[in-house]
Amino acid sequence: MPINHYIDIGPLKEEDLEEAHRICRLAFGTFLGLPNPLDFMDDRNFIAPRWRSPHVVAIAAREGNRLVGSNLATPWGSFGFFGPLTILPEYWGQGVAQRLLEATLAIFEQRGIRHTGLFTFAHSAKHVGLYQKFGYWPQYLTALMTRILEDNSGTQTKSGGAMRFLSELPTKEREQAIVACGRLTHDIEKGLDLSGEIEAALAQG
């Protein structure tokens, strides 16, 4: 895959968000073979909430003034992951993803990230091959599961106390809870810290 040196890599700007969201849906929908690719995830937005999260670095690929792709680099303490990395289908196979990956890995290196990862289509040799060029190798088959939570203030936790929402806690207790979450994730994986995710979710409601 040739590297496209006519592509400029820089920050994803606020005025880019709508188009970046469209490209994301179009790229996934095209790859998955939907009759109307823009039907993919038309009820949610992967880009704007991440862009508004202070700990996330959003980068864009442009040809001239035209946005052709983007990627989101998310540090979680000493761990980092990226995505969705999406490119306009008409630019596939032109090295745009490689340019975005180079910039993404440079961001992680600047942040001192020790361990990085991503999710991709395990059945796509093209996707797997791209990431292998940058040192990523398949590891885990991850089952994505959902559960609908009921707003029941009487729900009991395993410790016997009623479940409480973080957003409902007084400021000091909320800060203590976030610190406690950081200790928990650090115990699971040294350096793993999701405080930025929690604070961004609270800030964006």
Give the containing element (helix H, strand E) for 158: none
Beta strand residue intervals within 79-171, DSSP E: 79-82, 86-87, 115-117
pLDDT digits (tens, 9 = 90+) for 65-111: 999 999 999 999 999 999 999 999 999 999 999 999 999 999 999 99
- Secondary structure of the chain: what % helix, strand, coil (to 5)? 40, 15, 45
> How many Cβ atoms from other residues are within 10 Å of residue 7's Cβ?
21
Name, in order, each residue with C-beta under 8 angstroms of 136's C-beta and a sequence gap of 6 or more.
117, 118
Q: What is the pLDDT along the chain (205 residues), one digit of tens a residue?
A: 555 668 999 999 999 999 999 999 999 999 999 999 999 988 889 999 999 999 999 999 999 999 999 999 999 999 999 999 999 999 999 999 999 999 999 999 999 999 999 999 888 999 989 999 999 998 877 777 888 877 665 555 555 567 788 999 999 999 999 999 999 999 998 999 999 999 999 999 8
69 to 7, 93, 98, 142: CA distances (angstroms)? 10, 13, 11, 26
Name, in order, each residue with C-beta under 8 angstroms of 21's C-beta and a sequence gap of 6 or more.
45, 46, 47, 48
- pTM for the full model? 0.81
| Closest listed residue to residue 183, CA positions, set 174, 172, 194, 173 | 194
What sections of the chain are H helices per DSSP? 17-31, 48-51, 96-111, 125-132, 171-188, 195-203
42 to 23, 28, 36: CA distances (angstroms)? 12, 11, 11
Q: Give the side-chain half-sphere CA count within 13 A for 32.
A: 16
Tell me the angle at which helices 171-188 and 195-203 cross, rounded to the nearest 10 degrees: 150
Give the phi and the psi of residue 93 in degrees, each rounded to 5: 80, 10
